[in-house]
Structure 1
Amino acid sequence: MQSDWPTATLGELTINLDTKRRPVKEADRRSGPYPYYGASGIVDHVDGFLFEGEHLLIAEDGENLRTRNTPVAFRATGRFWVNNHAHIVKGNGLARTRFLEYAVLAADLTPYLTGAVMPKLTQGNLNKIELPCPPLKAQDAVIGVLGSLDDRIALLRQTNATLESIAQALFKSWFIDFDPVRAKAEGREPEGMDSATAALFPSEFEESPLGLTPKGWEVAPIGDLVEAVGGSTPDTKNPTFWEPAVHHWTSPKDLSGATSPVLLDTERKVSPAGLAKISSGLLPAGSLLMSSRAPIGYLALTQVPVAINQGYIAMLPGGQLPPLYLYFWCKANMEGIKGRANGSTFMEISKKAFRPIPALLPPPDIVSEFVAVAGALFDRLVANERTALSLTDVRDTLLPRLISGKLRLPEAQARLEEAIA
């Protein structure tokens, strides 16, 4: 990386704590409040911690070291555990830990990787990575600009997690725990709703194929309640299927590092000729995508018309259960969905196996009321995610120029103020 700042190696700028890492097999972990980190972030939560304070984690192995689909360097703060797939370092006084995070993200790591099949960044090569090292005052200024953008993005994503959890709690209350029905059965007024909404719910339960369910609510195969389709991949060696790149086309890779339950864009696009090769065609915005293999269970509500590959089951608008309702239904029933998967190379659930899964069908008025409430929350979530992506673009544009010293701080500060205005 060309730099107008002085440079130093990562080994000269950090204290390395790799010897204190300790992997724990999934079967041996006990759930707790402390994040358990791997090469690409948090993989679990456990009941103990190895580290405390602010540290920088850098991926040690994995294809992501080449593809960079998710950050290869990220800070961990507070108390946490780290396995042996992520190096752990902190600034030694010559460099701020957060500045090092940005410097590594801006660096080309390719010359330091080994392994033809599985990329690896050894500790020896990690220490050789050459990074810009401006004075601490300049590092703090860079952190001030990039950190402000990252903090704003993080706040938007935290807000979105709260909005989704509110909608999920409502779904659980109405359609899993049946709280309004239980309240009426016990002679109480249902909480958190007006009298008109409460009147939509029955006051009795009855036996059904799913056990005790609200009286009058039906049970039917999910395939009878929503149109579920799959997709395909046009020949990747035929350029006429991909150029001109016109229509959104997605594989589950687009959701692998997703920070939101909505799909706003795709990594690849197909040409009109490529779209013609996909039997399901262009699916309407508002469809629900569920990855059906490797792994099963990524979920996203599309915000643009999109074609899909064979790694998805898509649930389309227009059925008796709308995609927003189905998003939460899939989350609540994911273990049962995965239980119907099979395969020798990798587990997959086919549309044939998915469609017979029994689902509860509440009355349309109750479903519509839920969609009205949850939809308003998701409208805010989508707006927040669009803002977060816009700020991410600004940060990614500023990061390499700031880290190299080629963009002067007053200009960067002006870009920051414009972005967050």
Structure 2
Amino acid sequence: MARYLYYWFKSADFWYQANALKGQTDMADFVSLGDILSLKLRLISRVEQANVVSILGALDDKISVNERIAVTADSLGSACYARAYAEAPGEFRPEALSGTAEFINGRAFTKNATGTGRMVVRIAELNSGPGASTVYNDIEVSDKHLVRPGDVLFSWSGSLTVARWFRSEAVVNQHIFKVMPKNDRPMWLVADLLRLKLDEFRAIAADKATTMGHIQRRHLDEPVLTPSTTMTQKLDARIGPLWDRALAAEQESLKLAELRDALLPQLMSGKLRIRDAEKIVEDAV
């Protein structure tokens, strides 16, 4: 069964064998097709394979649904904002982007990292989440350099990205702004304003031919169209719940992925009974 093999390739059994084979040449570590064909896996019945796939697949399927929910909620929020401007342009006025939010630059918190404690959020973690190269540090930092679920981060160098943070509390590294709304503006609003400027900022960064592409603080002083207080309140009643729903979906997916990764080795090794795993997944989804 193809999906069973997919999960086996994510299992400790596969990686134990792959790691033993990957360094057999003078080239960069790799496992050849011939090596893959020589790997051995614990063969279980098709019924057992189907049960394992059903359990792990239910979690992956729910994660996929949550991803669509988050994307759809954000798209609906942006469409709602655009429609409000189209219908009532007089309720919007130009304002410097820097007047809508405080942009707090991260610092070089990867230096002398301890390997434990909070994740240090670099551009890689912002774009793809934690990986093998992710740095952890238990250094004490000021609150302004900590990011929590629901906060907005903006990478201003390299890969310019605007992202809603949904993982646990972490430390913001250099080349990333923590974006804090001013004057009680909702978080979704400053995120939308940034996204509306993102193509322009990326074009500016692309012109930095001799250095890593980036923008400068002065570019944050450029104007954006911001809604009046009354319009902001009206929009917040509609877009705020969409923002919260997207965040909730992302956070739920994170927990489901952690559960899937915890169940996978237990199921693949046969240490966890199918009936017990089904109950765990049923309670989770």
What is the TM-score normalised by the length of structure 2? 0.82
Given candidates 247, 259, 275, the residue that maps to 1:382 is: 247
Q: Secondary structure at the match of 2:61?
A: helix
Offset of residue 376 of structure 1: 0.8
Map residues 152-163 of structure 1 onto 2, 5 A cutoff. Answer: 152-163=62-73
| Equivalent residue, structure 1, for 2:212 | 346
Offset of residue 102 of structure 1: 0.4
Given candidates 405, 408, 411, the residue that maps to 2:270 is: 405
In 1, are the aligned partners of 2:127 and 2:161 still within 8 Å (CA)?
A: no
Partner Cα distance (1:288, 1:359) in 2:
18
Q: Which amino acid aligns with 1:347?
A: G
Given candidates 201, 221, 224, the residue that maps to 1:337 is: 201
| Equivalent residue, structure 1, for 2:237 | 372
Q: Which runs of 5+ in 1 are unaligned?
A: 1-95, 182-213, 259-265
Q: Does residue 224 of the first structure (1) align with residue 99 of the second (2)?
A: yes
Q: Secondary structure at the match of 2:94?
A: strand
Q: Which string of whole-angstrom CA distances, capped at 9 and with x for unpartnered residues, describes residues 126-169 of structure 1?
A: 33333332121211111121112222222222222222221121
| Equivalent residue, structure 2, for 1:234 | 109
Offset of residue 101 of structure 1: 0.5
Q: Secondary structure at the match of 1:227?
A: strand
For the structure 1 residues 345 and 149, does the alpha-carbon distance in structure 2 shift closer, same or farther, using more than 3 Å as the test? Answer: same
Partner Cα distance (1:356, 1:100) in 2:
53
In 2, are the aligned partners of 1:248 and 1:307 still within 8 Å (CA)?
A: yes
Q: Does residue 271 of the first structure (1) align with residue 136 of the second (2)?
A: no
Q: Does residue 113 of the first structure (1) align with residue 22 of the second (2)?
A: yes
Partner Cα distance (1:301, 1:364) in 2:
26
Partner Cα distance (2:267, 2:165) in 1:
35
For the structure 1 residues 320 and 159, does the alpha-carbon distance in structure 2 shift closer, same or farther, using more than 3 Å as the test? Answer: closer
For the structure 1 residues 333 and 268, does the alpha-carbon distance in structure 2 shift closer, same or farther, using more than 3 Å as the test? Answer: same
Identity %: 21
Q: Secondary structure at the match of 1:132?
A: coil
Q: Does residue 251 of the first structure (1) align with residue 122 of the second (2)?
A: yes
Q: Secondary structure at the match of 2:10?
A: helix
Offset of residue 112 of structure 1: 3.8
For the structure 1 residues 354 and 283, does the alpha-carbon distance in structure 2 shift closer, same or farther, using more than 3 Å as the test? Answer: farther
Q: Which amino acid aligns with 1:113?
A: K
Partner Cα distance (1:396, 1:301) in 2:
21
Partner Cα distance (2:247, 2:91) in 1:
35
For the structure 1 residues 374 and 128, does the alpha-carbon distance in structure 2 shift closer, same or farther, using more than 3 Å as the test? Answer: farther
Partner Cα distance (1:119, 1:318) in 2:
49
Partner Cα distance (2:100, 2:26) in 1:
48
Q: Which runs of 5+ in 2 are unaligned?
A: none
Map residues 269-348 of structure 1 onto 2, 5 A cutoff. Answer: 269-272=137-140, 275=141, 280-282=144-146, 286-301=150-165, 306-319=170-183, 321-341=185-205, 342=208, 344-348=210-214
- The structure that is helix-richer by fraction is 2
Q: Does residue 99 of the first structure (1) align with residue 4 of the second (2)?
A: yes
Partner Cα distance (1:332, 1:353) in 2:
17
Offset of residue 337 of structure 1: 1.1
What is the aligned residue count? 274
Map residues 195-214 of structure 1 onto 2, 5 A cutoff. Answer: 214=89
Q: Which string of whole-angstrom CA distances, capped at 9 and with x for unpartnered residues, describes residues 232-264 of structure 1?
A: 12363264xx76x3x664222222225xxxxxx
- The structure that is strand-richer by fraction is 1
Offset of residue 300 of structure 1: 1.8
Larger radius of gyration: 1
Partner Cα distance (1:418, 1:221) in 2:
48
Q: Which amino acid aligns with 2:20?
A: P
Q: Secondary structure at the match of 1:130?
A: coil
Offset of residue 293 of structure 1: 2.3
For the structure 1 residues 413 and 292, does the alpha-carbon distance in structure 2 shift closer, same or farther, using more than 3 Å as the test? Answer: same
Q: Which string of whole-angstrom CA distances, capped at 9 and with x for unpartnered residues, describes residues 193-212 of structure 1?
A: xxxxxxxxxxxxxxxxxxxx
Offset of residue 331 of structure 1: 2.3
Q: Once superposed, what is the RMSD of the aligned Cα atoms?
A: 3.0
In 2, are the aligned partners of 1:286 and 1:316 still within 8 Å (CA)?
A: no
In 2, are the aligned partners of 1:227 and 1:319 still within 8 Å (CA)?
A: no
Q: Secondary structure at the match of 1:131?
A: coil
